[in-house]
Structure 1
Amino acid sequence: MNSSSPLAAIPILDLGREYDQRYAGADLHYDAHGHLSAFFGRSVAVHRHDRFFQVHYMVRGQVHVYLDDRPYRLQGPMLFFTPPGIPHAFVTDADCEGHVLTVRQQLVWQLFGNGQTSPRPDLRLERPLCVDLGHQKGDLAKDAEQINDLFHLLQREFATDRPGREFNLHAVVRLILVTMLRFSESTQPDWPVHRQDLLLFHRFNQLVEQHYHEHWPLPRYAENLGLTPARLNLVCRRLANMSAKRLVFERLTQEARRLLVHSGLSINEICFTLGFKDPGYFSRFFSQQTGVTPRDFRFCSLDEGLAKNTSFPT
Structure 2
Amino acid sequence: MGQNRRTPIPNIDIGRVYDSRYGESDINIEAFGKLAEFFGRNMPVHRHDRFFQLHYLASGQIRLYLEEQQYLARAPLFFFTPPTVPHAFITEADAEGFVLTVRQELVRQLLHTLPAPQLEPWLMQPACVELQDEPAAQRLPLLLTMLGEEFMGEGRGREAAMQGLTQLILVAALRLSQHTEPAAHFRREDLQIFHRFNALIEAHYREHWSLWRYGEAIGVTESRLNDICRRMADLPSKRLIHDRLLQEARRLLIFSASSVNEIAYHLGFKDPAYFSRFFLRETGLKPSDYRRRNS
TM-score by length of 2: 0.90
Residue 310 of structure 1 is matched in structure 2 by: none
Residues 233/123 of structure 1: CA separation in 2 closer, same or farther (3 Å cut): same
Residue 288 of structure 2 is matched in structure 1 by: 295
Q: How far apart in 2 are the matches of 1:114 and 1:210?
A: 42
1:113–1:121: 8 Å Cα contact kept in structure 2?
A: no
Q: How far apart in 2 are the matches of 1:90 and 1:30?
A: 18
TM-score by length of 1: 0.85
| Structure 2, gaps ≥5 residues long | none
Shift of 1:23: 0.5
Shift of 1:154: 2.1
Instruction: Provide, for residues 270-300 of structure 1, a one-character-per-residue CA deviation record: whole Å limited to 9, x for no partner.
Output: 1011111222221121122223221222233
Residues 25/183 of structure 1: CA separation in 2 closer, same or farther (3 Å cut): same
Q: How far apart in 1 are the matches of 2:218 and 2:231?
A: 17
Residue 71 of structure 1 is matched in structure 2 by: 70
Residue 126 of structure 1 is matched in structure 2 by: 124
Q: How far apart in 2 are the matches of 1:28 and 1:7?
A: 33
Q: How far apart in 2 are the matches of 1:288 and 1:155?
A: 34
Q: How far apart in 1 are the matches of 2:47 and 2:118?
A: 19
Residue 273 of structure 1 is matched in structure 2 by: 266
2:7–2:200: 8 Å Cα contact kept in structure 1?
A: no
Amino acid at match of 1:202: H
Instruction: Provide, for residues 216-272 of structure 1, a one-character-per-residue CA deviation record: whole Å limited to 9, x for no partner.
Output: 233333344343433322211211121111111101101111222333321101101
2:218 is the counterpart of 1:225: yes
Segment of structure 1 superposing worse, 211-220 or 168-177: 211-220
Shift of 1:173: 1.2
Q: Percent identity?
A: 50
Q: How far apart in 2 are the matches of 1:273 and 1:51?
A: 29
Shift of 1:115: 8.3
Residue 179 of structure 2 is matched in structure 1 by: 186
Q: State the secondary structure of the residue aligned to 1:171.
A: helix
Number of aligned residue pairs: 290
The higher-RCO structure (CA 8 Å, 6+ apart) is 2
Q: State the secondary structure of the residue aligned to 1:199.
A: helix
Segment of structure 1 superposing worse, 159-168 or 221-230: 221-230
1:109–1:121: 8 Å Cα contact kept in structure 2?
A: no
Alignment of 1:153-302 (within 5 A): 153-302=146-295
Q: How far apart in 1 are the matches of 2:7 and 2:49?
A: 12
Residues 120/14 of structure 1: CA separation in 2 closer, same or farther (3 Å cut): farther
Instruction: Provide, for residues 139-167 of structure 1, a one-character-per-residue CA deviation record: whole Å limited to 9, x for no partner.
Output: xx221111122222222332222233222
Residue 36 of structure 1 is matched in structure 2 by: 35
1:55–1:101: 8 Å Cα contact kept in structure 2?
A: yes
Q: How far apart in 2 are the matches of 1:115 and 1:70?
A: 30
Q: How far apart in 2 are the matches of 1:70 and 1:187?
A: 13
Q: State the secondary structure of the residue aligned to 2:44.
A: strand
| Structure 1, gaps ≥5 residues long | 1-5, 303-314
Amino acid at match of 2:49: D
Q: State the secondary structure of the residue aligned to 1:183.
A: helix
CA RMSD of aligned residues (A): 2.4
Residue 51 of structure 2 is matched in structure 1 by: 52
Q: How far apart in 2 are the matches of 1:284 and 1:95?
A: 26
Q: State the secondary structure of the residue aligned to 1:103.
A: strand
Shift of 1:31: 0.6
1:109–1:120: 8 Å Cα contact kept in structure 2?
A: no
Amino acid at match of 1:39: F
Amino acid at match of 2:126: P
Amino acid at match of 1:193: F
